């Protein structure tokens, strides 16, 4: 199944992205680290509900990381070689 760089029907082009993929990648990575660390600490402090909620958020961050990375790869295939993007593109 081919992955497109952006969802179908969205306003955005390869030159002007719909979403700042690099920034989303950074934020999802940060969220993953924080949620896992706090989730483990909550479970050790015998707060199972809070720990479970944080670990579910960590799982959502992993899914977002996979989606963003697939879109970045698709964007890289559609652009000329050597094109670079800043954090906010």
Q: Which three-class secondary structure string do you get for the chain? A: CCCCCCCCCCCCCCCCCCCCHHHHHHHHHHHHHHHHHHHHHHHHCCCHHHHHHHHHHHHHHHHHHHHHHHHHHHHHHHCCCCCCCCCCC
Residue 46 — very low, low, confident or very high, per pLDDT cuts 50/70/90?
Answer: very high
- Does residue 41 or residue 22 have the better pLDDT? 41
What predicted TM-score, i.e. pTM, was given to this entire model? 0.72
pLDDT tens for each residue of 1-11: 555 655 565 66
Q: Report d(CA 82, CA 59) in Å as an integer.
A: 33
At 75, the pLDDT band (50, 70, 90 cuts) reads confident
């Amino acid at each position: 199944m081919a992955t497109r760089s952006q969802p179908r029907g969205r306003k955005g082009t390869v030159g002007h992205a719909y979403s700042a993929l690099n920034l989303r990648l950074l934020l999802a990575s940060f969220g993953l680290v924080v949620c896992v660390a706090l989730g483990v600490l909550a479970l050790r402090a015998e707060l199972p509900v809070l720990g479970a909620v944080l670990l579910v958020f960590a799982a959502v961050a992993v899914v977002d990381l996979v989606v963003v990375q697939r879109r970045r790869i698709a964007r890289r295939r559609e652009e000329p070689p050597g094109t670079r993007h800043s954090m906010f593109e």
